[in-house]
Structure 1
Amino acid sequence: MTPDDEVLVGRLRQQLKGRRGVSEQRMFGGLCFMVNGNMCVGPWQGSLVVRLDKADHEATQAEPHAGPMNITGKTMRGWALVAPAGIAEDADLARWVGRAVEFVRTLPAK
């Protein structure tokens, strides 16, 4: 993980502290935050990876600072990569994290 990722992990821990069903799992050379066993949010090279409803993919991609999640070379529908400018303020990070947690809670627990 990059130093920026380490800082973001600390901020994510603060955002997710006390929420039920949240766990951390190492993957893709970094750390992912899970909700009820489903991937939810995590850092990626200083940006924030968020999981959201596939049905809202195009609208999410059109939001400021949001772009496609394609770390494998293929865009992953239902995921967005939020640039550092889009999560610079704690309120902005909280909004993205809240949306992701809300969506992931609709998925069956693993």
Structure 2
Amino acid sequence: MMGGLLFMVDDKMYVAVMKEEIMARINPNIYDESIEKEGCNKMNFTGKPMKGFVFLSEEAVDLDDDLNYWLQLALDFNPLAKASKKIKSSKN
């Protein structure tokens, strides 16, 4: 996970901790309104933001209620999220 700590629920990415930020997978339908909140930023690894994935800075999660809000958004979306394709092992 690119140098971070990844947490999964039902074999799907839930949240990750990367350096000083939290990355959360949220419902793409609330993405635009979410990135307007303080400390919430677009996730941009490749030069193009990935809708539904956000970075949360310290300002976004400085209180327990704030952290719980974002974690709950990610957890609520998890049953709707598509799981990544399984990589087949080369071992026979």
TM normalised by structure 1 equals 0.68
Partner of 1:44: 18
Q: Could you say which residue in structure 1 is the equivalent of 2:78? A: 104
Q: 1:73 aligns with which of 24, 47, 54?
A: 47
- Report the equivalent of 1:86: 60
Question: Deviations 1:19-76 (Å, cap 9, x if unpaired)?
Answer: xxxxxxxx21111111101111111221111111112221111112111001233211
| Alpha-carbon RMSD | 1.6
Aligned to 2:3: 29
Gaps of 5+ in 1: 1-26
Deviation at 1:108, TM superposition (A): 5.2
Q: Give ranges in structure 2 of 5+ residues lacking alignment.
A: 85-92
Output the CA distance in 2 between the equivalents of 1:81 and 1:94. Answer: 15
CA distance in 2 between counterparts of 1:72 and 1:37 reads 24
TM-score (ref. length: structure 2): 0.79
Number of corresponding residues:
84
Higher relative contact order (CA 8 A, sep 6+): 2
Larger Rg computed on CA atoms:
2
* CA apart distance, 1:109: 5.8
Structure having the larger proportion of residues in helix: 1
Say which SS state the counterpart of residue 40 (structure 1) adopts. strand
